């Protein structure tokens, strides 16, 4: 009888070559963990190359998951279990492994060539390099071939199944059912029965090997999390963006036109949107970024909800057309799934460095509302709210996500669509008095007139418009009036959207101000510090423009303000400039999420200043 130990929280990292099926392995473990009713958060971490050179450090593909019986906000800092399919995966993964952590290693991959490519001068399995860890070297490649001895596949083809052998071992280690994965394999390879049989056999062989050899002295069980009742599904940020747009279109009773040019990590949104044509979704894969946003603006002019998505380099290309949308005051949603830059940078790594570009990266005075999602599931609500604001205020809206949210996954409680806020549109009607820039007194939005409606003929363009008539105007007083009207309209969005509430006390020693995907890290760090009795509170920004009015109130109530960002201090610069507050930054630019432990140390250093009389 195996010894089962109950634990509340576990972090696992699968790592290997791009061709080792690491992302698939991680996704299957995630699905099974979700079915086991644990809370979870994931971090897919893979090279930009489609097939990076095998055995190299920069070719390592990783997938990290933290799961727990308690709330999970991040994929974890330190790893409890590292599954390393080759020496490079071991070398890259060791820096995040806990002392005495478990390492499951494919010993067959530790050849002289692979060791050299991973910068090992000696075999770490033989020279004591891994002292202090629980090391389990397993001949995974050989055992996979043995399990598939009677399957008519080549050795190379059989080796492609070895990720399932490793997965089977981890399923045993954490008392996971194989049923969901077997069902997925049989469905995935329904037209290739030999591959279905091979993968199922390998999965079972890995689990049976762990059980029969008593490889692990202990297996572990993570109890179910206490979650709010409802129907849940696993969701990534990009999936959630697509669902949020579709839900908003249904509520608004309008079709969505989605024009996009493929760019990592935004490309998946186009693929998801293209799957839902039955909801009135029209998709266009344009020849470039400029054509994509131009087509979306044209669709908005015609009465659809125009949407486009990109990443940082594409947002730069879209900037001129974004200015056109500001001038014409058409509803448009632009989604920027940020990645490491500048230029093409590191396409598969995360960053928050597009904030200043999103706020100010257009010619002239061209402010737009900007919202930032905080988690994969929150991407749904950010997209939905962006559509509401765009239609209510007749304005282009920018939605920030990033690679971490786009590819990461978490449980998402499927909302009751009846409970989603209503999205009402009041088009200009034939026979009524109409002027293109006649504004609603509350929102300052102009009326949306559908082309072809009798009596509503009008023209729009990039040249400055005369107030009310929409005629081209070079009058200086009119120009200043229109610039100020457009800016004031954006500020009035703040009266329409809900302001965030502070987490913790409304005054104290340290206030942490954050935005976007740093939410989970900051919340975890602040929760831990507050449990230790530290005077720390947390204010997370959802709308980056307009900023919430409570922000200034709160930052003046705390002795110190710290702003964690995956950039060199862009929000910190805005806070300092707007409020003349000596906010300090906590900035990391590694293509990875900020770690909880590092942020905690930075906050504790600020708290220590008080103890030292500073």
Give the pLDDT score at 415. Answer: 95
Give the pLDDT score at 614. Answer: 57
Q: Cα dist. 266→59, 295, 312, 346 in Å? A: 22, 18, 10, 14
pLDDT bucket at 62, cuts 50 / 70 / 90? very high
End-to-end Cα distance, the chain: 59
Q: Which residue has the tokens 């494919």?
A: 106
CB atoms inside a 10 Å sphere around CB 557: 15
Is 513 in contact with 571 (CB distance < 8 Å)?
A: yes
pLDDT for residue 405 is more than 60 = yes
pLDDT for residue 518 is more than 90 = yes
Is 484 in contact with 464 (CB distance < 8 Å)?
A: no
Query: Any idea which of 17-21, 81-85, 177-181 has the lowest mean pLDDT?
Result: 17-21
Using only C-alpha atoms, the chain has a radius of gyration, in whole angstroms, of: 27
For 18-29, how does the pLDDT look when each residue is reduced to its tens digit (9 = 90+)?
889 999 999 999
Query: Average pLDDT, stretch 478-504?
Result: 97
pLDDT for residue 613 is more than 70 = no
Query: Average pLDDT, stretch 496-510?
Result: 97
- What is the C-alpha separation between 550 and 547, in angstroms, rounded? 9
- For 238, list phi and psi in degrees, rounded to 5: -65, -40
Report which of 129, 214, 224, 131 is spatially closest to residue 173, judged by C-alpha positions: 214
CB atoms inside a 10 Å sphere around CB 86: 27
Give the pLDDT score at 609. Answer: 84
CA angle 143, 147, 151 (to 5 degrees): 135
For 100-155, how does the pLDDT look when each residue is reduced to its tens digit (9 = 90+)?
999 999 999 999 999 999 999 999 999 999 999 999 999 999 999 999 999 999 99
- Domains parsed from the chain with CATH numbers: 3-221 (3.40.920.10), 233-419 (3.40.50.970), 508-611 (3.40.50.920)
CA dihedral 67, 69, 71, 77 (to 10 degrees): -40
Give the pLDDT score at 49. Answer: 84
Query: Average pLDDT, stretch 247-251?
Result: 97
For 191-225, how does the pLDDT look when each residue is reduced to its tens digit (9 = 90+)?
999 999 999 999 999 999 999 999 998 999 999 99
Give the pLDDT score at 347. Answer: 96
Whole-structure pTM value: 0.95
pLDDT bucket at 171, cuts 50 / 70 / 90? very high
Residues near 58 by beta carbon (within 8 Å), at least 6 away in sequence: 47, 52
Range list of H helices, 497-595: 519-531, 550-555, 570-579
What is the length of the chain? 614
pLDDT for residue 229 is more than 60 = yes
DSSP assigned state of 74: S
Give the pLDDT score at 425. Answer: 93
């Amino acid at each position: 009888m195996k010894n089962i130990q109950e634990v509340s929280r576990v972090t696992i990292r699968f790592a290997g070559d791009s061709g080792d099926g690491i992302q698939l392995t991680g996704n299957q473990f995630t699905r099974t963990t979700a079915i086991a009713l644990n809370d979870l958060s994931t971090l897919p971490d893979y090279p930009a190359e489609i097939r990076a050179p095998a055995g190299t450090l920069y070719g390592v593909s990783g997938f990290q998951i933290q799961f727990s019986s308690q709330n999970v906000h991040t994929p974890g800092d330190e790893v409890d279990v590292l599954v390393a399919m080759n020496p490079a995966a071991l070398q890259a993964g060791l820096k995040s492994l806990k002392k005495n952590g478990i390492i499951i290693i494919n010993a067959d991959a530790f050849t002289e060539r692979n060791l050299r490519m991973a910068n090992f001068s000696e075999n770490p399995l033989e020279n004591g390099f891994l002292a202090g860890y629980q090391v389990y070297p397993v001949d995974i490649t050989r055992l996979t071939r043995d399990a598939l001895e009677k399957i008519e596949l080549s050795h190379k083809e059989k080796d492609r199944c070895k990720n399932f052998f490793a997965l089977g071992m981890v399923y045993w280690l954490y008392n996971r059912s194989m049923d969901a994965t077997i069902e997925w394999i049989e469905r995935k390879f329904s037209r290739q029965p030999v591959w279905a049989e091979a993968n199922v056999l390998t999965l079972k062989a890995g689990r049976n090997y762990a059980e029969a050899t008593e490889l692990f002295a202990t297996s572990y069980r993570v109890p179910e999390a206490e979650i709010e009742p409802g129907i849940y599904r696993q969701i990534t940020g990009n999936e959630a963006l697509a669902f949020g747009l579709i839900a908003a279109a249904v509520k608004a009773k309008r079709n969505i036109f989605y024009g996009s040019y493929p760019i990592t990590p935004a490309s998946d949104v186009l693929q998801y949107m293209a799957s839902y044509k039955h909801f009135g979704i029209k998709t266009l894969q344009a020849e470039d970024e400029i054509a994509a946003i131009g087509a979306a603006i044209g669709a908005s002019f015609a009465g659809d909800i125009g949407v486009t998505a990109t990443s940082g380099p594409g947002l730069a290309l879209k900037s001129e057309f974004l200015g056109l949308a500001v001038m014409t005051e058409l509803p448009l949603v632009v989604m920027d799934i940020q990645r490491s830059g500048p230029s093409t940078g590191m396409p598969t790594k995360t960053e928050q460095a597009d904030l200043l570009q999103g706020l100010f990266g257009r010619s002239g005075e061209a402010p737009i509302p900007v919202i930032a999602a905080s988690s994969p599931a929150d991407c749904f609500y950010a997209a939905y709210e962006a559509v509401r604001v765009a239609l209510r205020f007749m304005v282009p809206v920018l939605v920030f996500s990033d690679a971490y949210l786009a590819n990461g996954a978490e449980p998402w409680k499927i909302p009751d669509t009846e409970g989603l806020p209503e999205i009402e549109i009041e088009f200009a009607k034939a026979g009524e008095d109409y002027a293109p820039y006649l504004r609603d007194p509350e929102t300052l939005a102009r009326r949306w007139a559908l082309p072809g409606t009798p009596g509503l003929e009008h023209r729009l363009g990039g040249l400055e418009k005369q107030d009310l008539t929409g005629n081209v105007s070079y009058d200086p007083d009119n120009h200043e009036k229109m610039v100020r009207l457009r800016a004031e309209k954006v500020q009035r969005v703040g009266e329409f959207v809900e302001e965030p509430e502070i987490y913790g006390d409304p005054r104290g020693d340290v206030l942490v101000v954050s935005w976007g995907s740093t939410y989970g890290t900051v919340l975890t760090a602040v929760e831990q510090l507050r449990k230790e009795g530290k005077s720390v509170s947390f204010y997370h920004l959802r709308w980056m423009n307009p900023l919430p009015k409570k922000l200034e109130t709160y930052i003046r109530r705390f002795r110190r303000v710290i702003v964690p960002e995956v950039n060199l201090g862009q929000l910190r610069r805005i806070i300092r400039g707007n409020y003349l507050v000596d906010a300090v930054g906590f900035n990391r630019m590694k293509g990875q999420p900020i770690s909880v432990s590092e942020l905690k140390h930075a906050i504790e250093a600020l708290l220590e200043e008080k103890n030292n009389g500073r």
